[in-house]
A and B are shown apart, each in its own frame.
Chain A
Amino acid sequence: KNEVEQSPQNLTAQEGEFITINCSYSVGISALHWLQQHPGGGIVSLFMLSSGKKKHGRLIATINIQEKHSSLHITASHPRDSAVYICAVAALTGNQFYFGTGTSLTVIP
C-alpha cells in the first residue's frame, strides 16, 4: 500500500511546454514537500506546502488539503529541468515522511 501516489511516472516534453506532475496521498499530513533529484545527484527540496500555493521562478506548487492532492507545475520548461521529481508528505502522527516513487522528466531541446 502506497501512502503517496504520483503521476505520471515518466514524462517527456518539448522545451517551452507547460508541465504538470500530480501527487495524491492517503494519510493525514502536516506538510507536503516537492523534491528534485538530478541524474547522479542528491535531493534538493523545492517546496514545502501546508496549504494554498507557492511559486519560485518558473515552478509553482499547489495543494488541496480536502482532496489530498498536490500538483507541481513547470512553466516554459527547459532541458535543465530534466530530473526526477518526488512528492513527500510529513505525516500528522510521528515524525516520518512518506515518499512517492517519483516522476522522471525529460525536456527535449
Chain B
Amino acid sequence: DVKVTQSSRYLVKRTGEKVFLECVQDMDHENMFWYRQDPGLGLRLIYFSYDVKMKEKGDIPEGYSVSREKKERFSLILESASTNQTSMYLCASSLLGRGHEAFFGQGTRLTVV
C-alpha cells in the first residue's frame, strides 16, 4: 500500500559529492514537493513541481536542484554536498488544486561528512 517511495532511508556522502535523492509516487499526482526537516525549524520547502518539467523554488533552494522528467518521479540533486546539508529530506505529493490530501514518503536521512 506504499504510495510515495523514497529511494533510500539512510545515506552517508562525502563533502563535494553529487547526491541524488529520488522520489516516486503511484497516485498520478500533479504536485510533488521536496522538504527538509531540521530540529527546531520544522519542515521547509526546497522545491516543488506542479507538472512534468515544471519546477518552482521554495523557501530554501540554494545548493539544490530538481528534475521531473516523468510525472511519477521527482528527484532532488545536491550538486556538491556540504555538511550543512546534513538533514532529513522528505518528499510529498498531492493532487493539483486546493485542499487535497498530501502523502509523504518515509524520509531520507542524509549525513554529509
Contact = CB atoms under 8 A, between A and B. Distances in A.
Contacts, number: 59
Contacts of B92: 97
A35 B43 CA distance: 12
Contact of B99 (A90, A96, A100, A102): A90
Given A42-B90, A96-B48, A30 B102 contact: no
Interface residues of A, number: 22
B41 A90 contact: no
Interface string A71-109: 000000000000000101010100111011110000000
Interface in A23-74: 30-31, 33, 35, 41-45, 48, 50
A100 B42 contact: yes
Q: How large is the interface on B (under 10, 10 to 19, 20 to 34, 35 or more residues)?
A: 20 to 34
Interface stretch (B68-76, B79-87, B104-112): B104-112
Interface of B: 31, 33, 35, 40-43, 45, 48, 50, 58, 90, 92, 94, 96-107
Interface of A: 30-31, 33, 35, 41-45, 48, 50, 86, 88, 90, 92, 95-97, 99-102
